[in-house]
Amino acid sequence: MIIDIHGHFTTVPQALHDFRKSQLDGDFAPDTIVGQAASIPDEDLRSAIENGQRKLQMERGTDLTIFSPIAGAMAHHLGDATISRFWTEACNNLIHRVVRMFPRHFAGVCQLPQSPGVAPENCIAELRRCVEELGFLGCNLNPDPAGGYWTDPPMTDRWWYPLYEVLCELDVPAMIHVSSSCNPHFHHTGAHYLNGDTSVFMQCLTSDLFRDFPDLRFVIPHGGGAVPYHWGRYRGLAQDLDRPILEEHLLNNIYFDTCVYHTPGIELLTRVIPAKNVLFASEMIGAVRGIDPRTGRYYDDTRYYLDEIGLAPDERQMIFEDNARRVYPRLDSLLRSQGRGHDRRTCVATGLTRGS
Ligand SMILES: [Zn+2]
């Protein structure tokens, strides 16, 4: 089967955006938004999915999307921790409703109620609620709740450790995902996202985070930002800084997705980074919404690029399915509970060979 590990509910009904504006404007108590979001009718959610993400799944032949609230709308820099808490609950509850409507095609990942200057420990209750009560598989973790100003400690600081302890206990990964940028220097999807991906990788390189948390797993999206393209630089920096070789130091804990929107980029990613560390993803419907006139296909139709480069069948199986089941063990359990155990033949049978 083909598992897309990175999708956001970008087609959410307009009512949610209206409620959020009112919340930020202080038109009502911050917790009111939870009930307001709950009042959005099921048929509106169903329609948003059927005319959006589900439609694209069927057109592109993908089976299941790991689905989370709109990353850009997390906006942890807006309001305070209380506002963030209730906004987060409202958004996560909507994801849960979508997953219940389409249990074979979507599985949930939560946003967290982060807020600049507030310890990440404050997110533990919502993480536990989402994983233990709502059946979510992981979380999106914003390395910069200040929205482009990076005022909180690096992700390798002990500031983050209480949250990491719970991620390990629950056996769920975190996708490192910034939100919108309020710093005019950084366009949010064109610069801030890739800066976040790249910066956190370098933070990990210079730290012993994964010695402290050998079971902690980070998914770095958007193809790993600049990292795969500059792999030689990072290998060299690790050498200069007397760090272990990267494969041992970081690649038991860090994974990259395939949200790279052209064939040469995907080719580079899959040549540089071992297949065991690459997870199929499209981030549809999201960062780039148009059609590439050179291919006539949507830029975010990433399955096409992977098909085009022609992976070996075993690599293809890992990237499309096996790695997702391994990095998100709760997904594997969920699929098995649905009678969708591991069947290697699915991907291998449809795989193209390199050069074909
Ligand atoms: Zn995203």
| CATH number of residue 70's parent domain | 3.20.20.140
Q: Is residue 356 part of a domain?
A: no
Q: Is residue 334 one of the residues assigned to a domain?
A: yes
Tell me, rounded to whole angstroms, the distance of Cα 93 from its chain centroid.
17
Q: Residue 21 falls within a domain, yes or no? A: yes
Flag whether 19 is in a domain: yes
Instruction: Give 279's DSSP letter.
Output: E
- State residue 346's pLDDT score: 47
Half-sphere exposure for 354 (CA within 13 Å, toward CB): 8
- End-to-end Cα spacing for the chain: 21
C-alpha 268 to ligand 1 mean position (Å):
21
* Centre of ligand 1 from the C-alpha of residue 8, in Å: 6
- Over residues 142-189, the pLDDT tens digits come to 999 999 999 999 999 999 999 999 999 999 999 999 999 999 999 999
CA of 242 to the centre of ligand 1 (A): 33
Question: What distance in Å separates the CA atoms of residue 205 and residue 278, rounded to the nearest whole number?
Answer: 18
Cα of 5 from ligand 1 centre, angstroms:
10
Q: How far is the CA of 250 from the centre of ligand 1 (A)?
A: 22
Q: How many CB atoms lie within 10 A of CB 134?
A: 16
Catalytic residue selected from 283, 308, 315, 321: 283
Q: Residues 178, 142: contact at Cβ < 8 Å?
A: yes
Q: Which residues contact 125 (CB under 8 A, 6 or more apart)?
A: none
Residue with tokens 């450790």: 161
Is 73 within the bounds of a domain? yes
- Asked, for residue 325, whether it belongs to a domain, the answer is yes
Beta strands, E only, 296-341: 297-298
In a domain, 333, yes or no: yes
The one-character DSSP state at 160 is: G
Note down the domain range covering 14: 3-350
22 CA to middle of ligand 1, Å? 25
CA distances from 11 to 5, 72, 95 (A): 17, 13, 12
The pLDDT of residue 13 is 98
Ramachandran angles phi, psi of 55, nearest 5°: -60, -45
Judge whether 283 counts as a catalytic residue: yes
Number of domains comprising the chain: 1
125 CB-side CA count, 13 A: 7
Distance of alpha carbon 124 from alpha carbon 14, whole angstroms? 29
What is the reported pTM?
0.95
Which parts of the chain register pLDDT below 70? Answer: 343-356
Give 328-343 pLDDT, tens digit per residue: 999 999 999 999 987 6
Q: Would residue 289 count as lying in a domain?
A: yes
